Amino acid sequence: MKFNDKLRAAWSFSNSLLCVGLDPDPVKLPAQLRGSSRAIFEFNKAIIDATHDLVCAYKPQIAYFAAQSAEDQLLMTIEYLKAQYPHIPVILDAKRGDIGSTADQYALEAFARYQADAVTVNPYLGGDSITPFTRYADKGVVILCRTSNAGAQDLQDMQIDGKPLFLHLASKVSNEWNSNRNCLLVVGATWPEQMRQVREVVGDMPLLVPGVGAQGGDVQALVKAGKTAEGTGLIISSSRAVLYAGSGDDFAQAARRVAMASRDEINLYR
């Protein structure tokens, strides 16, 4: 199944645009897990089991695993998702970006080693750095466009021929790089006006939207700015607000409560 088809099915199955980011920070894990050699996997598994019916995707951030030499637990997490909840897309948040044979290897890492359904990439090096990913026609390629951080304006808002760089990029992705119809864009929840502009350029291309929850993105504003005519088109990611909603024995139940509230708030404005 192609990524976008799997995503549309997940939107419908769970009636949800919510994505839970899996950013397992060892210092924030519940005390009862910290002595385990598989603490990261056990934490992820508990969060997944508690929230799987509320989400359209999971997004493991590779840095949280690699920094702890826990790539094996990233593999275990994705294998668990594939075995138990195969209908839910897995987006590997790696933000890779390089050229030639190096980009080929990054694509193998995401799609062959980790078996992710999609991967985030940085387009700064241009179209030939994206092609090694997009040639995997059944996989999603999630391209940074207008990110959620304050410093995004340093480059992404630079005016070129009277139009900000991020809109030039959105147009290039939509019109030139998306021949396999497997591209998506990252547009931060903290910039609803920019999201509206991107949506006008790219039509119904899915948008991955970080920046809700801990970063304070306005759910009503972002949904109205970014949704498609069908009331979908968005993968709205929340990480810390869900993962660390509780720190006791009931941490997974606390995560479920926050995830359910987030999903329901999003659905109010669809």
pLDDT in tens, 230-260: 999 999 999 999 999 999 999 999 999 999 9
Whole-number pLDDT of residue 148: 86
Please check whether residue 123 is in contact with residue 97, taking contact to mean a CB–CB distance below 8 angstroms. Answer: yes
Which structural domain range is residue 262 located in? 3-268
The C-alpha angle with vertex 99 and arms to 165 and 180, in degrees rounded to 5, equals: 70
The domain total for the chain is: 1
Which element (helix H / strand E) includes 57?
strand 57-60
Mean pLDDT on 90-112? 97
* Amino acid at the residue 32: Q
**b/e sequence 103-134, b meaning 16+ C-beta within 10 Å:** beebbebbbeebebbbbbbbbeeeeebbbbbb
List, by residue number, the catalytic residues: 95
pLDDT bin (cut points 50, 70, 90) of residue 216 is low
Please check whether residue 244 is in contact with residue 28, taking contact to mean a CB–CB distance below 8 angstroms. Answer: yes
Q: What is the pTM of this model?
A: 0.96
Here the CATH number for the domain that contains residue 60 is: 3.20.20.70
pLDDT in tens, 145-194: 999 888 999 999 999 999 999 999 999 999 999 999 999 999 998 889 99
CA 124 to chain CA mean position, Å: 19
Whole-number pLDDT of residue 58: 98
Work out the number of other CB atoms within 10 angstroms of the CB of residue 182. 21
Percent of the chain's residues with pLDDT above 70:
98
